[in-house]
Structure 1
Amino acid sequence: MSTVPNGQTKASLSGRRATPLHGLTVLVTGAGRGIGRATALACADAGARVIAVSRTRSDLESLAAEAAEASEILTSWVADVTSSEFVRAIGAMEQLDVLVNNAGTNKLQLLADVDDATLDMLLSLNVRSAFQVSRAAAVRMMAIGRGGSIVHVSSQMGHVGAAKRTVYCMTKHAIEGLTKAMAIELAPNGIRVNAVAPTIVETSMTAPFLEDPAYRTFAMETIPLKQVASADDVAEAIIYLASPAARLVTGTSLRVDGGATAQ
């Protein structure tokens, strides 16, 4: 009987369409809010054992309560993804099948107004930390020997450019390059690496922008489907990339952007 990554057989997959991540351990960073929170809940609902990571304990407590109400499997880690302690914790995991490398931030500024503190903050979290966390996960997956899947949360801004987003675009273009290079290097180990690149997503981080009528008009004008994405839209794409259904998908970027980058 032919096999697929993570030790599952093709025959065994047919009965698990409703729980495509059954038996897998999924680590989700930035899980307290927004895309990370929706992804943690969706992965648990898809049958995974989820380890949700956030710096904010109260966010994780409310997430755990929400998961418990739905009988979902979720463990919380209060941690700073930029810390060496968190990287070491990944290296000690007994099982790790999927990393959703989601933690990140943005700050809208004109090029001339970008201060060094903002530059360093975005590079540290969006690029340096993303590299260190995914490197630790890949090393651990190789040691465990079960293959795995790494999904970087990128952005449509990893494929295009826009005013007031020079640093953010730079960091997300870096993630797109990292995705391709990791995919090639880790393929012999059965580890797939992909990115998901959403358009504007309605979250607590973007809410202040979307409350501005001019900004919302701008958003609608750039998205052919005329819909701002929800965190659940992105989570569903991540489920696909993490699951055996995408067993031959690696080194790609799935754009959940309503057609924005097709123009």
Structure 2
Amino acid sequence: MFDFAQRTILVTGASGGIGAATVRLLRRHGADVLASGSTAEGVAELVAETGARPLPFDLTTEASVRDALQDVPLWGVVNCAGFGGEISSPTDFDLDVFDRVITVNARGALLVTKYAARTMIAAGNGGAIVNVSSQAALVALSGHISYAASKAALDSMTRVSALELGPHGIRVNSVNPTVVMTPMSAFYWGRPEIQEPFLSQMPLGRYATEEEIAAPIAFLLSDAASMITGVTLPVDGGYTAR
């Protein structure tokens, strides 16, 4: 189903669980993958394992994103870099944490889209962008005021980008995963008092794996999804269907 031969795809957040799983899957299907993290050291092991090419940059700084991407011929992008922030309510959130969550999850993805899309348009070959959002953008989750705001912004940027870039043959979609038990999420979702009531409300009754998120990302990048753009795809075991 997936054939990414002759296609260069950037994956941000490649040092994380979902990002690394996505790099592995895309490489298995022939993609020329640029694995991005904040440092080359952070993706060195993945690069050695998969044959992906490292492309480190600081997505919180526009100059760093611009310098890294302005001359790179891309066919696809996966905006997977993310920051979980804190567990807090609207009455006790930390503004500095909120600002960083927005900076990484929303602003960073928008900067990558800005410069990647320019090279994609210039190449004239179309392409695809997939933003890794969250179920937190679709339903209210206690304690997730900052994270939910950042991912809801990302979903809105997905829709607007799909509208603006569609005439250039560039599709833009989001995947909205449920909890994946990565180190970023385990500190909260691994607690029995949180995990048990949450999973009891999910039809499939379990957390997702990194590979179960990577597969829909690859699908949305692929020609099998050639008529799909502007969607937010829950990958959540049915949680948001309640």
**Common fold: TM-score over 0.5:** yes
Tell me what 1:6 maps to.
none
Contact 1:20 1:243 in 2 (8 A): yes
Please report the TM-score for the alignment, with normalisation by the length of structure 2.
0.95
Does structure 1 residue 173 correspond to structure 2 residue 152?
yes
Aligned partners of 1:28 and 1:101 also within 8 Å: yes
Unaligned runs of 5+ in 2: none
Local SS of the residue matching 1:117: helix
CA RMSD after TM alignment? 1.3
Deviations 1:151-173 (A, max 9, x none): 00001111111211111111111
Aligned to 1:10: none
Q: Given residue 104 of structure 1, which amino acid in structure 2 is its aligned partner? A: G
C-alpha contact 1:81 1:87 (8 A) present in aligned 2: no
Match of 2:55 in 1: 77
Q: Please state if 1:193 is matched with 2:164.
A: no
Distance 1:257 1:89 in 2: 33
CA distance in 1, matches of 2:190, 2:64: 38
Residues 207-216 or 197-206, more deviating = 207-216
TM-score normalized by the length of structure 1:
0.87
Whole-angstrom CA distance in 1 between matches of 2:198 and 2:179? 7
- Asked if 1:33 is matched to 2:16, the reply is yes
SS in structure 2 opposite 1:220? helix
User: Which residue matches 1:97?
Assistant: 75
Helix, strand or coil at the partner of 1:50: strand
Task: Choose 126-135 or 244-253, whichever is displaced more.
Answer: 126-135
Aligned pairs for 1:42-61 (under 5 A) are 42-61=25-44
Match of 1:124 in 2: 103
- How do residues 1-263 of structure 1 correspond to structure 2 at under 5 angstroms? 17=1, 19-67=2-50, 73-83=51-61, 84-93=63-72, 95-106=73-84, 107-263=86-242
Whole-Å Cα distance in 2 between the matches of residues 57 and 207 of structure 1? 25
Aligned length: 240
Contact 2:205 2:237 in 1 (8 A): yes
Contact 2:177 2:213 in 1 (8 A): yes
Higher-Rg member (1/2): 1
